[in-house]
Structure 1
Amino acid sequence: METGYDYVAGLPVTLMNGIWFIMSCLLGLAYLVNHVIKPDERNWLGILAKYLMQYGKAKPVPQPTDVPKRFFVHFYILAVIYNLVCLVTLFGLCQNWWSHNWIANVFFLHDTNQQTGDQLSVIMVMVLLTIHTSKRLYECLFVSVFSKNAKMTPIHYLWGFVYYLLIPPTLIAECLPLHKLPNGSFQVRHYIAIVGFCIASYIHHNSHVILANLRKKGGCKQDSHGIPQKGMFEYVSCPHYFAEVLIYLFTAIIIFPQCHSWLALLAYNTVVHANMAMISHAWYKETFSSYPPKRKAFFPHLL
């Protein structure tokens, strides 16, 4: 088996890092085109940029090929099952119960001569990811009220599956073989990360509850929208996107010393959620004349 990766800017050259980099650049450029360059919408560049960035309430003209936004639930059904299988696989590899690492084989990973980290951190992050996707599945099934008019493109739909498939191999890319890692012990960063993860998860869940209650209790019909109030909505238009990035940030605190690739995933999540937040923020301001003028899009008091 090969040993060692080639490194670029401190990150190993892997399939996942290549995809995170390409997608971050692609979405960043799409936002730049849509909101800074603003080409003619009949221009191929303008059409492509809008196609990549618009979905849900910000997608004004659904296309026949679009799929309902409520199909988000499909991502989380896959992610929960997949994460549980990966969790069992990684735990077994750490304990040396089996030697076959199907995750490494599928995603072209190999043992590295720069192996770092500990088993506790790997398993802890995998557990937190499984908790997060399970929470999202619960929210999609029992909390969120999706508009029948909210759509997403087939590209958004397919990318949702690919995204969750890429996360576990990103986690272990620099840690193989797992059974040779030290067991590890709880450090201060682990406690900070767990507390931060719980706070971010509460903000994330509470934001979805507030959005759902606009239609359940707030007088908005299923296919209409209102101005969300309370919680972190007093500060930003999309606190659920802000909290999602925080969740990945706190998992990064756990795993970063041994997995620099997690920074590529964190960068992607920051780019995509900041973009979506700014698009939603612009939509709110255009739709509601009474929208709070001091409310930011994504990051309280700043962005």
Structure 2
Amino acid sequence: MAVLLFLVRIFYIIIIICSITILIFRSLKISILSYGKFRTSVQFATKNPIEIYIQNLTVPKRWFKHYYIIGTFWTTFLITDIIILQNRNIGYFAWFVQIFDNIEKYEPEYFKEPYTECVIGLVMLQIQTIRRMYECFFVERPSAGATMHIGLYFLGLAFYPVTGLAIFIEGIGNLGIVNIKDKEFPIPFTNFLSWNILLAIFIFIYASYHQYVLHKNLALLRSKDFSVSSSYFIPKGDWFDYIASAHYTAEILIYFSFVILTKGFILTTWLVFIWTVVCLGIVAKNSEEWGKEKFGEDWPKNRWIIIPYVY
């Protein structure tokens, strides 16, 4: 059995099931799956000491940047070790894999994803983590006192390390970890001309650009002084004119580009995408409810919540 692949898949299956289950309990949905303005604005009455304790386990929302710092360093390690260093030696990643699996006898599941798609996927993920890290430090303006639940924080810390594996794990048998001579390096240019790679790159760049613009629009609604609690305003401009949580829509498209990259044949990539849809769909619904409660009749009624023509 491909143990490492199983662990990566089970991670996403568990968090997807847990997120859906939490929806049943309003107090848990608000305390665990809400962050930022939702936690500071939405209140629920409870006398249950366990619920109160769970609700108060929070960390500052600005710690979001930790996700992308870890993600950037992890993806840099993977790219350096697998693509560059392994041109001449086995590399450290092979040592990591053999903790879980016998690298001399790879399971067939580890040969499903072509080498080119593995490399392109890692580069795309690297661009995503670097861009989001830049935005956290130089673009976004979190409200003073904004928090998120510690469970959501630790989940975010685990997300990019696991996703870094998920992007290429079903192709690690094609990466030359066992036999360097069989490794295709450098990649022939013609390998980049397949329809799935070109379409995936286009969707990724298109969605990434709009997410950057949307995050800038959100930042402009806040004070530059993080120590000052600023008022909230209805976001406008770009996709926000049509979609309430447009920045989440862009995130979904970004991870859908990884599904396109692998032609929809890689289950692990689908699990990453499904988790993104489930998680951001829940947060977008929270945002919609909060917006209607706070702004009343001023809240736009002709916008989709997150997915046009669907939701």
Distance 1:94 1:52 in 2: 41
Match of residue 29 from structure 1:
21
Superposition TM-score, scaled by structure 1 size: 0.84
1:120 aligns with 2:128: no
Is 1:295 matched up with 2:291?
no
**Percent identity of the aligned residues?**
26
- Does the 8 Å contact 1:116/1:175 carry over to 2? yes
Aligned residue type for 1:122? C
Selected match of 1:84 from 54, 69, 76: 76
Distance in 1, matches of 2:257 and 2:102, equals 25
**Does the aligned pair in 2 maintain the 1:73–1:141 contact within 8 Å?**
yes
Identify if the C-alpha distance between structure 1 residues 94 and 175 changes in structure 2 by more than 3 Å, giving closer, same or farther.
Answer: farther
* 1:259 CA displacement: 3.0
Alignment-derived partner of residue 250 in structure 2: 243
More helix as a share of residues: 2
CA shift, 1:46, in A, is: 4.2
Gaps of 5+ in 1: 7-11, 34-44
CA 297–20 in structure 1, closer or farther in 2 if over 3 Å, else same = same
Q: Is the 8 A contact 1:237 1:295 kept in 2?
A: yes
- Work out whether residues 167 and 258 of structure 2, in 8 Å CA contact, stay in contact via their aligned partners in 1: no
Q: How many residues align?
A: 280
Q: Which amino acid aligns with 2:302?
A: K
| Shift in alpha-carbon separation, 1:189–1:215, aligned structure 2, 3 A | same
1:198 aligns with 2:223: no
**Within 2, Cα distance between the matches of 1:95 and 1:112?**
23
| Counterpart contact for 2:70–2:157, Cα < 8 Å | yes
Question: Structure 1 234/301 Cα, relative in aligned 2: closer, same or farther at 3 Å?
Answer: farther
Q: How far apart are 1:285 and its partner, in Å? A: 1.1
* 1:257 Cα deviation from its structure 2 partner: 5.5
CA deviations on 1:16-42 (whole Å, 9 max, x unpaired) are 1111011111112222x1xxxxxxxxx
Q: Is the contact made by 2:113 and 2:168 (CA closer than 8 Å) also made in structure 1?
A: no
Distance 1:203-1:159 versus aligned 2 partners, 3 A rule: same
Contact kept? 1:211, 1:228, Cα under 8 Å: yes
1:75 aligned to 2:67?
yes
Q: Is the 8 A contact 1:237 1:296 kept in 2?
A: yes
> Aligned letter for 1:127?
V
CA contact (8 A) 1:14 1:109 kept: no
Residue 237 of structure 2 aligns with an amino acid whose one-letter code is K
Contact 1:83 1:168 (8 Å CA) reproduced: yes
Match of 2:30 in 1: 50
TM-score, normalised by the number of residues in structure 2: 0.82
Long gaps (5+) in structure 2: 44-51, 177-181
Q: Distance in 2 between matches of 1:106 and 1:287?
A: 51
Which SS does the other structure have where 2:282 is aligned?
helix
The counterpart of 1:168, out of the listed 164, 171, 176, is 164
Change in Cα spacing, 1:90 to 1:132, as seen in structure 2 (3 Å) is same
State how far apart, in whole Å, the 2-side matches of 1:284 and 1:216 are.
Answer: 20
1:228-247 Cα distance to aligned partner (Å, 9 max, x none): 11110011111111111100
Given that residues 107 and 169 in structure 1 are in contact (C-alpha distance below 8 angstroms), is that contact kept between their aligned partners in structure 2?
no
Matching residue of 1:269: 276
User: 1:193-244: per-residue Cα shift (whole Å, max 9, x none)?
Assistant: 1111111001111110000111259xxx743210011110011111111111
The alpha-carbon deviation at position 168 of structure 1 amounts to: 2.0
Q: Does 1:280 align with 2:272?
A: no
